[in-house]
A = this chain, B = another copy of it.
Amino acid sequence: MRIGIVAPSCPITPEMAEQLHQLVGGRAELRIHPQCYLTHGHFAGPDAARADALVEYANDPAIDAIWFARGGYGACRIVEAVLPRLSGVARDKQWMGYSDAGTLLGALYSEGCSRVAHGPMPADLNRRGGEAAVARALDWLVDGRAAACEPSPGRKAAFNITILAHLIGLPWQPELSGHVLLLEEVSEYHYRIDRALAQITAHPGIRRVAGIRLGRCSQIPENDVDFGMDEVAIAEHWCRVSGIPFLGRADIGHDSANKVVPFGR
């Protein structure tokens, strides 16, 4: 099992890579693209470098899985350039990440990549308890262990709320009819969660999902006037307005407990 690591958003450090190698041990062979250590503003290198590294590893038949190193911001800047450069090899491999990487997961899924999963990334080693998160990601990537996954019957997909809102209406918005949609958020005001869910649940395609489950919404800044609804009330509201069933909470979020959600299974 050979896992290629690229950073379409923000960089990781060689120290983190070393920590990752030790944690992975003999479970898999890691190929960490040197692009992961580039810095360009807050990006892991210029757009072209991030796109080229992703395409190189995606189309390399010797690599079984692409694991996004870290979120942050930057995936939306390369997605349109990357998609037409992907070969059938890219469509057949596994993909994993979350947060900003969700832009690519969604676009890859829309392009027929069927082995896409929302789950922990190497940069989760920065979190308290992050080793468990990274080990859980490997449990899925390497061993396909169902215990790593958030249980949910039927087809599913998972996204950061803000990231999905910014995918709405674009040619690479994934078709999610019949899927249970798991959503999580971090560091956004309640009114912004509300606004993003208004857009997501108003889209005619999203109205055909089987339901919405709400993951954790963490580190919500305090508004100067209390919004009057927490994230559960907000999600329930938009489900009611849109006719989408609200199916309760989900064990995903920007934290070490973040479970794996394989798309479409």
**A209-232 contacts to B (CB < 8 Å):** 223, 225-229
Number of copies: 2
What are the residues of chain B within 8 A of A167 when measuring CB–CB?
199
Stretch at the interface among A63-71, A90-98, A110-118, A190-198: A190-198
Query: Does any Cβ of B come within 8 Å of A80's Cβ?
Result: yes
Query: Which residues of B are found within 8 Å of A171, using beta-carbon distances?
Result: 202, 204
Answer whether A228 and B166 are a contact pair too, CB < 8 Å, given A73-B191, A194-B77, A198-B77: no
In the complex the two chains form, is A228's CB within 8 Å of B41's CB? yes
Q: Does A40 contact B (CB under 8 A)?
A: yes
From residue 40 to 82 of chain A, which have CB atoms closer than 8 A to chain B? Answer: 40-42, 73, 76-77, 80
Asked whether A149 is an interface residue with its Cβ less than 8 Å from the other chain, the reply is no
Contacts of A76 in B (CB 8 A): 195, 198-199
Pair A195/B73 contact, Cβ less than 8 Å: yes
Chain B residues positioned under 8 Å from A204 (CB to CB): 171
Q: What residues of B have a CB within 8 angstroms of the CB of A166 in the complex? A: 165, 195-196, 198-199
> Does A168 have its Cβ within 8 Å of any Cβ on chain B?
yes
For residue A241, CB closer than 8 A to chain B, the reply is: yes
Bound complex: CA A42 to CA B203 (Å): 26
Once the chains bind, are B225 and A170 in contact (CB under 8 Å)? no
The complex places the Cα of A166 from the Cα of B198 at a distance, in Å, of 9
Q: Give A244 Cβ to nearest chain B Cβ, in Å.
A: 14
Is the Cβ of A41 less than 8 Å from the Cβ of B227?
yes
Question: Is the beta-carbon distance between B202 and A170 smaller than 8 angstroms?
Answer: yes
| Interface: A99 (CB within 8 A) | no
- Pick the residue among B165, B202, B226, B227 that contacts A80 (CB under 8 A): B202
Q: A41-B226, A41-B228, A169-B173 are in contact. List 8 more A-B contacts (CB 8 A).
A: A41-B227, A41-B229, A73-B195, A80-B241, A165-B166, A168-B168, A168-B170, A170-B199
Report, nearest first, the 8 A-B pairs whose CB atoms are least far apart. A169-B169, A41-B228, A42-B225, A168-B169, A76-B198, A166-B199, A73-B191, A170-B202
